[in-house]
Amino acid sequence: MSSKILLKTITEFRKSTDANPQVRLARNAAVRGDVMDLAMDWEAFRRIDHTFSDIVTGQMKVTNQKSSGRCWGFAGLNLFRIYLGRKYNLKKFEFSQNYFIFCDKLEKSNYFLENIIKTADEPLDGRLVMHLLTDPIQDGGQWHMFVNLIEKYGVLPQTEMPESFQSSQSMRMNRMITRKLRGFAKDLRVAYEKGADTKKLRVMKEDMLRTIYQMLTICLGSPPEKFEWQIRDKDKKFHRFEKLNPKQFYKEHVGLDLNDYVCLINCPMSDKSYNEIYTVDYLGNVVEGSIIRYLNLPSKRLKEVAAASIKDDHPVWFGCDVGKYFHRNLGVMDMDIFDFELFYSTDFPMTKTDRLEFGDSQMTHAMLFTGVDLDGRGHPRKWQVENSWGEKRSDKGYDIMTDSWFDEYNYEVVVYKDYITKDEFSLYQKDPVVLPPWDPMGALAK
């Protein structure tokens, strides 16, 4: 057998392909149409149903992250607004996602520069430093990174710091700040090579962060230090709260204790075990903030705690690989929605483990579970998902995830600690096993 493709082999490929009428039919359709529609299975399509046995109260019009990767922040702030909306009987409300991302970008810049100082004696072309330089202020994030920002900076109503063009279309802002940060990384490493100690490098870093703050202000606006908040509730009653700051607004008006939440993952990789706690090295945003902390459990267990939370009227933040077996316009995540095997005349047999270990899947998107459809035995059939892609798709922006899709492509849920056992919570508090920075369980923050 030759190591190269022989021309006669290509001729044989063509003969066998052209002889297959199913392939010819699929080809003729695919060259003129979207495979996501052409491969759709009728039986799965006709079963699409946006009703659920249990939904959380206080749902509002979905938000829209537009052309940005802020899903994790949107999901967290959307969780907050459900509780705020219940408290003040609100029909609509949004937190400032712009303020949130301003704080995140500033903290990620500091986190990156600190890691450059920390790794100053590592080879520049080594995998670690190259990893750090790849995407220093990416839009993504993880639950504990969200917690770090909220605890340090609080939250704002969107009316106090509305969206800017750059927050909604973040690519160019990220590109320019990344370019500046890489230049700063070079300056820090050169200074270290010339004998600068950590104290001197941090003096340099402070001037660098001043420049980053300036760039963020140009792109996103200036965060207010003080503000007032006024609303009219569903009963037309007017409320005004004066002399607020972001931390006070979070503490007094949202009031959730984020220390009461735990982060659970389902990661069946061969280098990981169930009932083990994990973190990811060099993954974070706030220096000296909480580390990423995952308790790895079977998918069935994640579904049990998520369903219990929803039944008790608590939404659930989660992370998944949204691009797989998902029809974006219909808003359906379903393992049966596409018959790719029939369409391509081949099978795709990789398991969840295979997909993680061979780079075919990772966490790419965070959203909220706001409902679950339970059968007569209390087992989930499908899940209601509050997405952050606007309301001009799906059921006004609320999506469906089938239970089989949950097993294959959902990786993470965040719930109150009351929904796990005492033994599980004891495991959660252990010192975690440290995963390398490029582990797929860190992908949502990329």
Catalytic annotation, residues = 71, 365, 387
DSSP state of 291: P
- Find all residues with CB under 8 Å of 312, minimum gap 6, and list them: none
Pair of tokens at residue 166 = 């750059």
Nearby residues of 166 by Cβ (< 8 Å), 6 or more positions away: 172, 173, 219, 220
Helix (H, G, I), strand (E, B) or coil at 421: coil
N residues, the chain: 446
- How far apart are alpha carbons 428 and 360 in whole angstroms? 28
CA distance 279 to 291: 7
Residue with tokens 């998918």: 299
Rounded distance between C-alpha atoms, residue 221 and residue 227, angstroms = 15
Can you state the angle between helices 171-193 and 198-220, rounded to 10 degrees? 170
d(CA 92, CA 86): 11
383 to 126, 369, 399: CA distances (angstroms): 43, 7, 8
Element housing 256 (H / E):
none
Q: Partners of 412 in the beta sheet?
A: 265, 319
Asked if 91 and 119 count as a contact pair (C-beta separation under 8 A), the reply is no
Distance CA 434, CA 290 (A): 14
Say how far residue 197 (Cα) sits from the centre of its chain.
37
Mark out the alpha helices in 293-418 (DSSP H runs). Answer: 299-311, 340-344, 352-357, 403-409
The rounded distance, in Å, linking the Cα atoms of 156 and 212 is 21
Outline where DSSP puts E strands in 103-226: none
Whole-number Å distance between alpha carbons of 249 and 213: 23
Helix or strand run (H / E) with residue 48: none
Distance CA 368, CA 251 (A): 22
Q: Could you tell me the two tokens for 295?
A: 């308790």
